[in-house]
Structure 1
Amino acid sequence: MRHWTQAVLAGAVVLAAGAAQAETRLTYKSAKTGTSYYQMGVELAEGMKAASGGELVMTVEESQGSVQNVMEVRARGADYVFTAPPSLVEDAQAGSGAFEGRNAPQFDEIRSLFPIPSLTMHFVVAGGEGPTTLEAFEGKSILLGKGSFGATEGEKYLELFGMMEDVTIADAELSNGGTP
């Protein structure tokens, strides 16, 4: 993770150095506050400021999700940075999916600075009984969250394995859960 962060910071410093002699300000949309993604955004902002000698200042804003991040491109300038799955940007540019009927020329100007490595979907259960099967979820309430990539993927896999009728998806945000 440290090498990845250093590579991102080095790239950002190069971009910032060519962009302006004075302080450059960016806005970064990064997940909901209280999440590990938001904290990663805060650390990225601090690292970029330190690596640029204070010439690049990134303000981290809470995001309501990737669709909102892409939609805000319509009203933001070139100083706006966000995360979103590449397929979502492709949908925006094609005017399909969540962006059907909501085309905007600004979607064609979205550029990717770097890919975020793929995530692996995990279902985690309490207990020390060892490996289990998806059938162990039958009759249980599952906390997936709302509107996130993980929540969408979780539902997709439950549907794929024919489990949607056998479980209850909790109506709660992951950030509302307690910490041990």
Structure 2
Amino acid sequence: MKFVAFSCALALAFGATSAGAETRVTYKSAKSGSSYYQMGVELAEAIKAGTDGNVSVTIEESQGSVQNVMEVRARGGDYVFTTPPSLVSAAQGATGPFDGKGDPKFAEIRALFPIPSLTMHFVMAKSADNGFASLADKTILLGKGSFGAKEGEKYLTLFGLDGKVKIADAELSNAVNALKNGQIDGFVTAGSFPAPNVVEAAASTPVTILSMTEDEVAQTKSTRVVIPAGTYAGQESDVVTTSLPVAAYTTTQMDDDTAYTLTKTFWEQKAEMAGISPWWNGVTPDLMQSVKAEFHPGALRYYAEAGIAVPAASK
């Protein structure tokens, strides 16, 4: 996902021995060109602005969340990374992609703050009814290999549509043109809202974003989220859907003052970031419940001062 180096003027940061010594912190998130890479750029600029230029940011590309977690084994106190909370739990339990790859370093992972979630969008031509039953006999583009594609395929099975929907053999990058040209009836994508490809689709042709019932949300066993009305052109009502939470983490090797500064600056600059990219509006204190990991003591200090509730299990 993203790689951000923070320069810090604090003498104590990461064991600096002289005032004004530059310290670099790696913020690693996603592939370049992705929305999460762009978020890294915005976050880097916000940290710099929020620390009056005392923090300088550099970004490095990542190949994905599993890699981000795996690198904890070789990183020190200057490492910040993003990943879904489920992967932190998997690493600490040596399950899933970490089966047979357990490491004591994974137990040292600590949370800093949530970032925008990966939100499921089922985007259909405007003529579609607002319900998943309407997908029967339709041609849907799921894409290949992405979280959205895998989750979309799972939902079609859960909602009794397995074998009833024609899956288009095309890349997600072709979705908007294919929908506009009538080659497909809809597409599935996962991204922080407003998702750029959904914005493009809604701006070029009338679309309907399907809303889930509470029973459908429960069947997915995923986190419920609401895309507010007006997020996309022509969207007159709230859309209930699901999301994959994502958060920024570090390890116990980061000193408390640095973790405090990063967390405090993030929340204090969030409104400014939302003025640039509305997806930051999706980050609220309610997302603290979804992080599901122990928070860094420095971050906890900020949350106590700001009156932001932290789940008891995460303290």
Under a length normalisation based on structure 2, what TM-score does the superposition of the two structures give? 0.45
1:74 aligns with 2:73: yes
Q: Mark the CA change 1:115 to 1:162 in structure 2 (over 3 Å): closer, same or farther.
A: same
CA distance in 1, matches of 2:142, 2:32: 18
CA distance in 1, matches of 2:83, 2:113: 11
The one-letter code sitting in structure 2 at the alignment partner of 1:37 is Y
Structure number having the greater strand percentage? 2
Asked if 1 retains the 8 angstrom alpha-carbon contact of 2:141 and 2:175, the reply is no
Superposed displacement of residue 63, structure 1: 2.4
Q: Which residue of 2 aligns with 1:9?
A: none
Superposed displacement of residue 110, structure 1: 0.8
Q: Mark the CA change 1:124 to 1:139 in structure 2 (over 3 Å): closer, same or farther.
A: closer
| Stretch deviating more after TM superposition (129-138 or 70-79) | 129-138
Q: Which residue of 1 aligns with 2:111?
A: 112
Q: Which residue of 2 aligns with 1:96?
A: 95
Local SS of the residue matching 2:101: coil
Moved over 6 A (4+): 175-179
Provide Cα deviations, 1:33-63, integer angstroms capped at 9, x if missing partner: 2222211111111221232234323322222
Superposed displacement of residue 16, structure 1: 7.6
User: Any stretches of 5+ residues in structure 2 without a counterpart?
Assistant: 1-5, 178-196, 201-315
Q: Which has the higher contact order (CA 8 A, sep 6+)?
A: 2
Number of residue-to-residue matches in the alignment: 166
Superposed displacement of residue 156, structure 1: 2.8
Asked if 2 retains the 8 angstrom alpha-carbon contact of 1:16 and 1:24, the reply is yes
Asked if 1 retains the 8 angstrom alpha-carbon contact of 2:142 and 2:153, the reply is no
The one-letter code sitting in structure 2 at the alignment partner of 1:115 is P
Asked if 1 retains the 8 angstrom alpha-carbon contact of 2:141 and 2:172, the reply is no
Superposed displacement of residue 164, structure 1: 4.2
Asked if 2 retains the 8 angstrom alpha-carbon contact of 1:23 and 1:55, the reply is no
Q: Mark the CA change 1:140 to 1:130 in structure 2 (over 3 Å): closer, same or farther.
A: closer
Whichever of the two has the greater Rg, that structure is 2
Counterparts of residues 1-180 of structure 1 (less than 5 Å): 17=10, 19=13, 21-116=20-115, 118-125=117-124, 127-129=125-127, 131-134=129-132, 135-136=134-135, 138=137, 140-148=139-147, 150-165=148-163, 166-168=165-167, 170=169, 172=171, 174=173, 180=200
Asked if 1 retains the 8 angstrom alpha-carbon contact of 2:142 and 2:152, the reply is no
CA distance in 2, matches of 1:84, 1:26: 17
